[in-house]
Amino acid sequence: VEKELTKKDLQDKKILISAGPTREAIDPVRFLSNYSSGKMGYALAKAASYRGADVSLVSGPTQLQTPLGVNKIEVETASEMETAILKEFKEADITIMAAAVADYTPKNYNKEKLKKRDAELKLELKRTTDILKELGAKKRKDQLLVGFAAESEDLIKNARKKLASKKADYIIANDISDKNIAFASDKNKITILSQNSSQAMPLENKEDLAHKIFDYLI
Ligand code: CTP
Ligand code: CA
């Protein structure tokens, strides 16, 4: 670790990272979200900054402290995250989508607080933009694009599908079938996939894992 703290192998690199959940408002007091803590994305931002990179972190709501030297851009919704990321993307040498972006958002926002009425309530939702896929379509040859895949079954098969459909250079496959790892945990177990490689990593603390991810990508 000591060696890692002093190495500046990401000097002069611009790195864009997304982290945390998004929140999709239903009415003034309610939202749809997920259990993402933001820890993996923040660990990546911290590791990249230690290693000399110029880091922008587009973050949904989290309880985490902004790592030293990192330019944090706070967002709430998937749509705000998309706007913030697209603004930074052209400048980024490496982009890592670690955020747990909502796949759906309420079709209509209720300006007034919803009143309880019937025994059942149907909420209509619509798809959000797949930001990673959008970046995959826009990506230049000199840019590296990395996504995550959170899977509770068929980890590698589903992650490989995401690698292809989103045109990412790497997908970090995240097994969320074990409740004790991945989401909101301090540890994570991942496999890094590219079109022609697969590297499984042992269960590890997210901060150490972040350094190993950069070791591997470099
Ligand atoms: N992602 C994104 N924009 C979205 C949804 C996901 O950029 N609207 C990104 C995530 O940040 C992650 C990758 O896509 O890097 C995979 O996210 P994941 O939720 O695992 O997969 P989805 O493509 O959303 O498919 P599904 O949830 O159905 O498995
Ligand atoms: Ca999803």
**Per-residue tokens: 123:** 């909420």
**Per-residue tokens: 77:** 């919704």
Instruction: Please confirm, yes or no, whether 34 is among the known catalytic residues.
Output: yes
**pLDDT the model gives residue 11:** 96
* Mean pLDDT of the chain, nearest integer: 94
Give this prediction's pTM.
Answer: 0.96
**pLDDT the model gives residue 1:** 52
Rounded-to-integer distance, Cα 168 and Cα 110, Å: 36
User: Using 50, 70 and 90 to split pLDDT, how confident is the model at 178?
Assistant: confident
Q: Is 15 in the pocket of ligand 1 (CB under 6 A)?
A: no
User: Using 50, 70 and 90 to split pLDDT, how confident is the model at 182?
Assistant: low
Query: Can you tell me which residue has the tokens 């706007």?
Result: 83
- Weakest mean pLDDT among 61-75, 123-137, 147-161, 178-192: 178-192
Please answer whether residues 60 and 36 qualify as being in contact, where contact means their C-beta atoms are separated by less than 8 angstroms. Answer: yes
Of all helices (H) and strands (E), which one includes residue 20?
A: none
Is 87 annotated in some ligand binding site? no
Rounded-to-integer distance, Cα 65 and Cα 81, Å: 19
Query: Can you tell me which residue has the tokens 């690199």?
Result: 13
- Return the sign of the alpha-carbon dihedral for residues 194, 11, 41, 79: negative
DSSP assignment of 59-112: E-S-SPPPPTT-EEEE--SHHHHHHHHHHHHTT-SEEEE--B--SEEESS--SS
According to DSSP, residue 21 is labeled B
**pLDDT the model gives residue 163:** 98
Please choose, from the candidates 101, 97, 89, the residue with its C-alpha nearest in 3D space to the C-alpha of residue 138.
Answer: 89
Q: Is 162 in the pocket of ligand 1 (CB under 6 A)?
A: yes
Rounded-to-integer distance, Cα 163 and Cα 148, Å: 9
Choose the catalytic residue: 34, 71, 110, 158: 34
Going along the chain from its start, the domains and CATH numbers come out as 2-108+122-217 (3.40.50.10300)
Ligand 1 atom showing the smallest separation from residue 162 Cα: 23
Q: What is the pLDDT of residues 105-134, one digit of tens each?
A: 999 999 999 999 999 999 999 999 999 999
